[in-house]
């Protein structure tokens, strides 16, 4: 998929539909070789780990207690347009509509829908895992901002009306201007160390911290280009089962996910991203950032808020 503005190319990336995505359980609409204005920014980006966790009320009526779900079963949604690249990849003339947009668990298309609304490209797919419906939604703005989004819905079922929490973990393999020589800095305001920005020198797990307005940036050490990761307002903070909010690890080929298939056992389903944190130096390496979003889902809470999580990734030095 390419996005051009006049003679200049803004985005160039390769997309796999969920049914062909990588990982033990798939990983939604998966992206590779993401270039912005001719500079490689991501080697691979996807969502390989996805869990649901029920509270005591749900558990008492036989829900869960947890589910490790899958992200490679495509569900039908509404998307109209043509398929110039073959079946399952639809270029839309109007915005696609998933169950989160129209409340409908039907439609004539499954696969990946592409739509450019004048300022950003959306790459949308709807997934099914049991009675859950998940929305895999990537947004690539013309100004370089990337908005990974993941949405939560379901069909009528005795469990979905019980309070539960969704935990979704993106794997973002940044390759800023090439694979090597990246680093990650953490921002805290008020500062925790000497200044607002602190370099993360070793593999680590970090939590979001709203009182410190905690953010991160991944930059190439030589060019200072990169992406600034700003947590989304709905992304919450991990509890014990939620495992964490952000991890920085060295890229290793075998670490696409934690190898766990579908299970209801909390001890097995809990995301084992900590297992990738081995104390290795990450300053100047080929890096992977795992980013977790935690969505508390209570169908009796009618406060209008999006059933969507995801950070905003702002380009640094890339325009």
Residue nearest to Cu ion (CB): 297
CA pair distance 307, 150, nearest whole angstrom: 8
DSSP state of 144: S
Q: Summarize as ranges the residues that interact with Cu ion (CB under 5 A).
A: 152, 297
Contacts of 66 (CB under 8 A, 6+ apart): 51, 52, 53, 54, 241, 263, 264, 265, 266, 269, 270
128 vs 184, which CB is nearer to Cu ion?
Answer: 128
Tell me the closest approach of the beta carbon of residue 71 to Cu ion, in angstroms. Answer: 15
The answer to whether 87 and 108 are in contact (CB under 8 A) is: no
Tell me the closest approach of the beta carbon of residue 52 to Cu ion, in angstroms. Answer: 7
**In 3-state terms, the chain is what percent helix, strand and coil (to 5)?**
5, 45, 45
Tell me the closest approach of the beta carbon of residue 164 to Cu ion, in angstroms. Answer: 6
Tell me the closest approach of the beta carbon of residue 154 to Cu ion, in angstroms. Answer: 6
Tell me the closest approach of the beta carbon of residue 156 to Cu ion, in angstroms. Answer: 12
Tell me the closest approach of the beta carbon of residue 152 to Cu ion, in angstroms. Answer: 5
Tell me the closest approach of the beta carbon of residue 132 to Cu ion, in angstroms. Answer: 7
Distances (CA, A) of 20 to 9, 138, 249, 257, 268: 27, 17, 25, 16, 25
Query: Hey, how many other C-beta atoms are within 10 angstroms of the C-beta on 314?
Result: 19
Contacts of 139 (CB under 8 A, 6+ apart): 120, 121, 122, 123, 145, 146, 147, 148, 149
202 vs 262, which CB is nearer to Cu ion?
Answer: 262
CA pair distance 33, 44, nearest whole angstrom: 6
The answer to whether 223 and 178 are in contact (CB under 8 A) is: no
Q: Dihedral angle at the C-alpha atoms of 238, 240, 242, 246, nearest 10 degrees?
A: 50
3 vs 271, which CB is nearer to Cu ion?
Answer: 271
The answer to whether 144 and 318 are in contact (CB under 8 A) is: yes
147 vs 297, which CB is nearer to Cu ion?
Answer: 297
Contacts of 6 (CB under 8 A, 6+ apart): none
Cα dihedral across residues 73, 28, 243, 139: positive or negative = negative
Tell me the closest approach of the beta carbon of residue 109 to Cu ion, in angstroms. Answer: 23
36 vs 152, which CB is nearer to Cu ion?
Answer: 152
Residue pointed to by tokens 């490790």: 68
């Amino acid at each position: 998929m390419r996005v051009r503005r006049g003679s200049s190319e803004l985005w160039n990336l390769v997309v796999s539909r969920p049914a062909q995505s990588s990982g033990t359980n798939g990983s939604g609409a998966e992206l590779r070789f993401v270039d912005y204005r001719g500079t490689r920014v991501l080697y691979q980006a996807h969502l390989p780990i996805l869990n649901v966790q029920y509270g005591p009320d749900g558990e008492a009526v036989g829900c869960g207690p947890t589910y490790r779900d899958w992200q490679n079963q495509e569900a039908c949604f509404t998307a109209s347009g043509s398929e110039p690249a073959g079946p399952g990849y639809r270029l839309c003339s109007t915005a696609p509509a998933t169950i989160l947009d129209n409340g409908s668990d039907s439609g004539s298309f499954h696969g990946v829908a592409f739509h450019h609304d004048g300022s950003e490209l959306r790459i949308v797919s709807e997934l099914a895992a049991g009675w859950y419906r998940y929305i895999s939604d990537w947004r690539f703005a013309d100004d370089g901002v990337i908005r990974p989004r993941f949405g939560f819905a379901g069909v009528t079922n005795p469990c979905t009306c019980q309070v539960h929490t969704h935990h979704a973990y993106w794997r973002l393999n940044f390759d800023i201007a090439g694979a090597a020589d990246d680093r990650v800095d953490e921002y805290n305001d008020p500062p925790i160390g000497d200044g607002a920005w602190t370099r993360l020198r070793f593999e680590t797990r970090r939590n979001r911290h709203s009182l410190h307005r905690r953010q991160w940036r991944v930059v190439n050490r030589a060019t200072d280009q990169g992406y600034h990761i700003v947590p989304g307002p709905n992304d919450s903070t991990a509890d014990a089962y939620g495992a964490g909010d952000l991890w920085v690890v060295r890229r290793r080929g075998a670490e696409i996910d934690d190898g766990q298939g579908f299970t209801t056992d909390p001890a097995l389903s809990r995301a084992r991203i900590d297992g990738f944190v081995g104390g290795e130096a990450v300053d100047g390496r080929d890096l992977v950032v795992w980013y977790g979003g935690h969505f508390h889902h209570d169908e009796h809470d009618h406060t209008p808020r999006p059933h969507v999580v995801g950070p905003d990734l702002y380009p640094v030095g890339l325009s």
